[in-house]
Amino acid sequence: MYDLIIVGAGPAGITAGIYAARKRMDFLVVTQDIGGQAALSWDIENYIGYQFITGMELVKKFREHLEQFKVGIKEGEQVNLISRYKDTILIETDKGNYESRTVVIASGRKPRRLGVDGEDGFKNRGVTYCATCDGPLFAGRDVAVIGGGNSALDAVLQLSKISGRIYLIDAAPQLRADPVMVEKAEKSGNVFIYNNTMVERIFGEKFVQGISVSRSGRTEDLDVQGVFIEIGSFPSSGFVNDVAKNDTGEILVNCRNETSVPGIFAAGDVTDVPAKQIIVACGEGAKAVLSAFEYNNKHA
């Protein structure tokens, strides 16, 4: 029986780990990857102490900080179910089961899927959710970016320097992204913006060859080799059913990071805390562990 299990190792989970280590708790970190969404951020200019750092570098520093302590990290492990039985929290994963007195859920968010034909079949065959990772592979090729927010425009601006034609496909009448980004895209010369447009399907043979889009009842095929899906994210909270969530699936927490189930705490972007920021997630991870520590002392 552990004192604490931390689910996830993004900014919230890693901070939670550092606080738990300093409190000498007997704990484990169970996570699919290290860094979470922060690892994929390009430029970070609002993490205090660094005027500029890339997500990759920041995550490396987070990791080094955590690994100063002797911490059990189960990497590449997926949590399937968290439930409470009497005073014990049970954690079932794809590799085994754990028991703990408390848990901090810091599992973050995952990219939202478009939900059209061809999306799954062509995943990593032209369809990608990580422009930062795969963008350079589409140098000189024609691509489509789906979405209209800052992450979509970020992808467009990265690609506009290297790709051929870039079609920006947005379902809304107007792009939501910051005007400064939209202006840059409009000026780039190789970005074609399609408002009010839905993606119908993604097609190809072995790799993506194009997409069908529809605008005011008219369907058009666009020849593209890459499809970058940037339509936001959803909270990764599907493995815990007993805690209260809002209608988008975010776990409800109070100012002590307590959920509706005693012993289960949550922190970071998986919760209903409004500011989805690295620095906020770090603070929330720290708070959650301090609450879990206090909970264990009270229930000793």
Partner 1 sequence: MKTVKVYSTSTCPYCHMLKDFLKERNIPFEDVDVGADRESAQEMMDKSGQIGVPVIDIEGKIIVGFNKEEIIKELGI
Which residue in the set 92, 117, 119, 134 belongs to the binding site for partner 1 (CB under 8 A)?
A: 134
Of residues 203, 211, 207, the one with CA closest to residue 146: 211
Total of chain residues touching partner 1, rule CB under 8 A: 30
35 binds partner 1 (CB under 8 A): yes
Minimum CB separation from partner 1 for residue 208, in Å? 9
Q: Which is nearer to partner 1, 133 or 244 (CB)?
A: 133
Q: In the 8-state DSSP scheme, what is residue 220? A: E
Window contacting partner 1 (CB under 8 A); options: 8-16, 123-131, 270-278, 283-291: 123-131
Three-state SS annotation for 229-244: ECCCEEECCCCCCCCC
Name the residue type at position 223.
D
Minimum CB separation from partner 1 for residue 181, in Å? 18
245 half-sphere exposure, CB direction, 13 A CA radius:
19
Minimum CB separation from partner 1 for residue 59, in Å? 7
Burial of 49 (C-beta count, 10 Å sphere; 0-12/13-18/19+): exposed
146 binds partner 1 (CB under 8 A): no
Span 50-89, contacts to partner 1 by CB under 8 A: 55-56, 59-60, 75-76
Span 167-186, contacts to partner 1 by CB under 8 A: none
Cα 160–Cα 161–Cα 165 angle in degrees, nearest 5: 40
Span 201-220, contacts to partner 1 by CB under 8 A: 206-207
Burial of 159 (C-beta count, 10 Å sphere; 0-12/13-18/19+): buried
Contact between 28 and 2 (Cβ < 8 Å) = yes
Neighbours of 173 (CB within 10 A): 8
Name the residue type at position 281.
A
Span 221-260, contacts to partner 1 by CB under 8 A: 226
Window contacting partner 1 (CB under 8 A); options: 21-29, 136-144, 171-179, 241-249: 136-144
Q: Which is nearer to partner 1, 145 or 251 (CB)?
A: 145
Window contacting partner 1 (CB under 8 A); options: 13-21, 39-47, 176-184, 277-285: 39-47
Which residue in the set 51, 124, 254, 297 belongs to the binding site for partner 1 (CB under 8 A)?
A: 124
Minimum CB separation from partner 1 for residue 275, in Å? 23
Rounded-to-integer distance, Cα 174 and Cα 228, Å: 19
Rounded-to-integer distance, Cα 263 and Cα 88, Å: 8
Rounded-to-integer distance, Cα 41 and Cα 195, Å: 26
1 binds partner 1 (CB under 8 A): no
Interface residues with partner 1 (CB under 8 A)?
33-35, 39-40, 42, 55-56, 59-60, 75-76, 124-126, 128, 130, 132-137, 139-140, 158, 162, 206-207, 226
